[in-house]
Chains A and B, each alone.
Chain A
Amino acid sequence: DGGITQSPKYLFRKEGQNVTLSCEQNLNHDAMYWYRQDPGQGLRLIYYSQIVNDFQKGDIAEGYSVSREKKESFPLTVTSAQKNPTAFYLCASSQTMNTEAFFGQGTRLTVV
């Protein structure tokens, strides 16, 4: 059963702490993405990766970091430098950069 899995679904973090969001896909897709959704702002691109061991900053990369050591995994770390981390985070993957993306269920991060 192929798909893309994000975990956890809900995450609470104290101010000043780093937290890592997991994203795994078994679709054999080369490209993976992280988006952030805030009310009224649609989906904004944080980071993307076209291939293993390569990733590029998106529109709002400040305060975030990623790694792509394996094709199927693209974890996102929200660091303490991110000023407004409370949001709904979506991971996606696609065969290549110009084909439709498949999204995970999302992780809602709340900073308390």
Chain B
Amino acid sequence: DQQVKQNSPSLSVQEGRISILNCDYTNSMFDYFLWYKKYPAEGPTFLISISSIKDKNEDGRFTVFLNKSAKHLSLHIVPSQPGDSAVYFCAAYSGSARQLTFGSGTQLTVLP
């Protein structure tokens, strides 16, 4: 039973447009959410995070939105650049379970 779901395995976006990556979760005990970016044959790198007490966090071109009632978060990349092409993982942390759970990832391709 996947507690963190990324239902879109892939997404293609034109350069300069907005990329929206989505993530759903089932465990209401998650209290911290993170996005990681991964290039082939490399480890993921941390991108941006959000605490469950907030609904938005912004860092440059990256913004993460959290909708707790819908158990949904999304990562917006504006404007998208070809270098953003990578696999993006959503992750959720539960303090009570003391575990970080990852989604299955979404391959983003930004077309020049």
Contacts and interface: CB of A to CB of B under 8 A. Distances in A.
A74 interface: no
B45 interface: yes
Interface stretch (B54-62, B75-83, B95-103): B95-103
Nearest to B2: A42
Interface stretch (A14-22, A76-84, A100-108): A100-108
A42 B89 contact: yes
A42 B43 contact: no
Contacts of B34: 100
Interface size on A, as a range, is 20 to 34
Interface size on B, as a range, is 20 to 34
A33 B98 contact: no
Contact of A105 (B4, B36, B42, B100): B42
A98 interface: yes
Given A40-B9, A42-B105, A43-B89, A101 B42 contact: no
A52 interface: no
A106 B42 contact: yes
Interface in B8-51: 9, 31-32, 34, 36, 41-46, 49
Contacts of B45: 102-103
Contacts of B93: 97-98
Interface string B80-112: 000000000101010100111111110000000
Interface of B: 4, 6, 9, 31-32, 34, 36, 41-46, 49, 89, 91, 93, 95, 98-105
Interface of A: 4, 6, 33, 35, 40-45, 48, 50, 56, 58, 90-92, 97-98, 100-106, 108
26 contacts: A6-B43, A40-B9, A40-B104, A41-B104, A42-B105, A43-B44, A43-B89, A45-B99, A45-B101, A48-B99, A90-B44, A92-B43, A97-B95, A98-B32, A98-B93, A98-B95, A100-B49, A101-B46, A101-B100, A102-B45, A103-B45, A105-B41, A105-B42, A105-B43, A106-B42, A108-B41
